[in-house]
């Protein structure tokens, strides 16, 4: 018999109206009942200590879901704060590349760098000279002369870039920094985003049948200690919860139904 998770559904309890989060399907779900026992022993006829009985003294149940990819909302869950849509001004942009031609086109609508005005005072460029980062001189686009201006660059609308001929001849690595405004950004807020109702859906695969079941925990709270590490290059994204529902047993139901693909 195999058990396969099919969905972990979180319903927000700190928003009105509540939302059901459209997260990716987790690659694995681990439910730890978190039971601790006090073990009592007694001596047998030859004086050896043997198990007599056990009493449950503590329950700290927990759930950890593992996802194969990161989403914006998963990152917010790892932090424990809500994302809100609002304007963001002064958003940084940085490009690092080897210069091998004079001009580079600006950004189209919807791409970073779009909406930056020409000759922005925020725009800076540095080139690698014998392993040391040296600044390039920014020249206004209207007066930029790529043949006469030395170790220079110009920044036109939408972060279009031009470099002087001597820079192109060096073929150096260049890092260009700028800022732009976004009218609709998803910004991490101060609002907590850490208490939910949880439904775990799964399938029991046995003898050709795929019988569904579900577990319900209400409420659960994000485990900030376990979620404090965010590995941007990792293969999985773990998300840990503490089950704060005061109950001696979970709500586990097998509705005697199978699932089709």
The answer to whether residue 213 is domain-embedded is no
The answer to whether residue 200 is domain-embedded is no
Does residue 165 carry a pLDDT above 90? yes
The answer to whether residue 143 is domain-embedded is yes
Q: Which residues pair with 83 in a beta bridge?
A: 188
How many structural domains are present in the chain?
A: 1
Question: 138-155: b or e for each residue (b if 16 or more CB lie within 10 Å)?
Answer: bbeeeebebeebebbbbb
Does residue 251 carry a pLDDT above 80? yes
Residue 3: which pLDDT band, with cuts at 50, 70 and 90? confident
Residue 188: which pLDDT band, with cuts at 50, 70 and 90? very high
Residue whose pair of structure tokens reads 């800022």 in the numeric block: 179
The answer to whether residue 172 is domain-embedded is yes
The answer to whether residue 8 is domain-embedded is no
**What pLDDT, on a 0 to 100 scale, did the predictor assign at position 259?**
83
Q: Which of 2, 1, 8, 10 is nearest to 29 (CA)?
A: 8
**What pLDDT, on a 0 to 100 scale, did the predictor assign at position 36?**
87
What does the pLDDT average to over 156-172? Answer: 97
Does residue 49 carry a pLDDT above 80? yes
- Average pLDDT of the chain to the nearest whole number: 93
Q: What whole-number distance in Å separates Cα of residue 198 and Cα of residue 212?
A: 16
**What pLDDT, on a 0 to 100 scale, did the predictor assign at position 47?**
86
The answer to whether residue 50 is domain-embedded is no
Q: What percent of the chain has pLDDT over 90?
A: 79
Q: What is the 3-state secondary structure (H, E, C) of the chain?
A: CEEEEEEEEEEECCCCCCCECCCCCCCEEEEECCEEEEEEEEECCCCCEEEEEEEEEEECCEEEEEECCCCHHHHHHHHCEEEEEEEEEEEEEEEEEECCCCEECCCCCCCCCCCCCCCCCCCEEEEEECCEEEECEECCCCCCCCCCCCCEEEECHHHCEEECHHHHHHCCEEEEEEEEEEEEEEEEEEEECCEEEEEEEEEEEECCEEEEEEEEEEEEEECCCCCCCCCCCCCCEEEEEEECCCCCCCEEECCCCECCC
**What pLDDT, on a 0 to 100 scale, did the predictor assign at position 145?**
97
**What pLDDT, on a 0 to 100 scale, did the predictor assign at position 1?**
59
**Lowest mean pLDDT across 46-55, 181-190, 215-224:** 46-55
The answer to whether residue 44 is domain-embedded is no
What does the pLDDT average to over 122-150? Answer: 97
Domain extent for 119: 86-186
**What pLDDT, on a 0 to 100 scale, did the predictor assign at position 100?**
96
Task: Read off the pLDDT of residues 79-123 as tens digits, 9 standing for 90 and up.
Answer: 999 999 999 999 999 999 999 999 999 999 999 999 999 999 999
Q: What whole-number distance in Å separates Cα of residue 162 and Cα of residue 164?
A: 7
The answer to whether residue 127 is domain-embedded is yes
Task: Read off the pLDDT of residues 53-65 as tens digits, 9 standing for 90 and up.
Answer: 988 888 899 999 9
Distances in whole angstroms, Cα of residue 148 to Cα of each of 129, 143, 169: 20, 11, 14
């Amino acid at each position: 018999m195999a058990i396969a998770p099919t969905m972990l559904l979180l319903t927000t309890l700190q928003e009105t109206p509540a939302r059901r989060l459209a997260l990716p399907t987790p690659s694995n779900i681990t439910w730890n009942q978190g039971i601790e026992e006090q073990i009592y022993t007694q001596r047998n006829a030859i004086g050896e200590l043997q198990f007599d009985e056990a009493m449950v003294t503590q329950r700290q149940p927990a759930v950890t879901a593992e996802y194969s990819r990161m989403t914006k909302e998963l990152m917010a869950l790892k932090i424990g704060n809500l994302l809100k849509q609002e304007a963001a001004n002064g958003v940084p942009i940085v490009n690092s590349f080897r210069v091998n031609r004079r001009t580079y086109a600006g950004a189209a609508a919807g791409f970073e760098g779009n909406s930056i005005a020409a000759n922005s005072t925020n725009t800076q460029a540095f080139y690698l000279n014998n392993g040391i980062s040296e600044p390039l001189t920014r020249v206004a686009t209207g007066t930029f002369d790529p043949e006469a201006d030395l170790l220079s660059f110009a920044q036109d609308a939408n972060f279009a870039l031009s470099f002087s001929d001597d820079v192109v001849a060096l073929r150096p690595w260049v890092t260009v920094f700028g800022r732009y405004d976004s009218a609709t950004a998803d910004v991490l807020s101060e609002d907590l985003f850490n208490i939910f109702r949880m439904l775990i859906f799964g399938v029991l695969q046995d003898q050709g049948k795929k019988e569904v079941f579900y577990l319900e925990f209400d409420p659960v709270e994000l485990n900030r200690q376990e979620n404090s590490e965010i590995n941007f290059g990792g293969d999985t994204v773990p998300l840990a919860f503490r089950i704060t529902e005061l109950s001696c047993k979970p709500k586990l139901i097998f509705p005697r139904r199978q699932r089709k693909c």
